[in-house]
């Protein structure tokens, strides 16, 4: 039980730590730009790339749910 609690606390603190996912060059360019249009574009691209897998998994899940529901009838 102690190991599970310790693992949970360590993983919680690991995810709470601020993560920097950009390389040093990209970060320097995005922070130095005055209009911040490139930074907004990069952020929109990240959200777009992040959303597609969730949408695909949700669609596959709905398809499987629908198939099981129709097989029971």
pLDDT digits (tens, 9 = 90+) for 26-68: 667 777 777 777 777 777 777 788 888 899 999 999 999 999 9
Q: Outline where 20-36 has alpha helix (H).
A: 24-32
For residue 33, which of 41, 23, 45 has the smallest C-alpha distance? 41
Q: How long is the chain? A: 73
Domain range for 9 is 2-72
CB distance 63 to 55 below 8 Å: no
Model's pTM, two decimal places?
Answer: 0.48
Q: How many domains would you assign to the chain? A: 1
């Amino acid at each position: 039980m102690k190991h599970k609690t310790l693992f949970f606390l360590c993983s919680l603190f690991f995810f709470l730590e601020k993560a920097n996912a950009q390389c040093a060059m990209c970060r320097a360019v995005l922070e130095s730009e005055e209009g911040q249009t490139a930074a907004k574009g990069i952020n929109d691209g990240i959200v777009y790339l992040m959303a597609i897998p969730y949408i695909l998994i949700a669609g596959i899940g709905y398809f499987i749910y629908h198939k099981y529901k129709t097989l029971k009838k």
